[in-house]
Amino acid sequence: MKEKTAEDVSKYVKQVADKRGWILHPNDDGTLDMLVDGLKDYYNRVGYFNCPCRDSYEDMKFDRDIMCPCDYAQPDIDEFGRCYCALFLDPDFDFKVEIEMIPERRPEEKW
């Protein structure tokens, strides 16, 4: 398997955002870089883009719902304006509001 670089992953998340009509975290505090790095590390270790904010089973069968973009991203963006990690945001996201933790939508038995 060819290792992904941060540039590969940045390109991937940009494509996802464009395709889904979302925007990326502005990276004013380094969050975007950190999440891209987390996705890269997971990919190079387990072979898929496991959510960088969640633990991985390291088995695609069990992690399918949290492969980025996860199954919970759209409902979270609809309700809170951002995905769980705040990698993807609604284009109308209000940047005056502090980005806080949102509830985990993944069923608890899968944590």
Give me the residues that bind ligand SF4 (CB under 6 A), please: 35, 51-53, 66, 68-70, 73, 83-85, 87-88
Q: How far is the CB of 15 from ligand SF4 (least distance, A)?
A: 13
Q: How far is the CB of 104 from ligand SF4 (least distance, A)?
A: 10
DSSP 62-73: HHGGGBSSPTTH
Q: Cα–Cα distance between 14 and 32 in angstroms, integer?
A: 11
Q: How far is the CB of 67 from ligand SF4 (least distance, A)?
A: 7
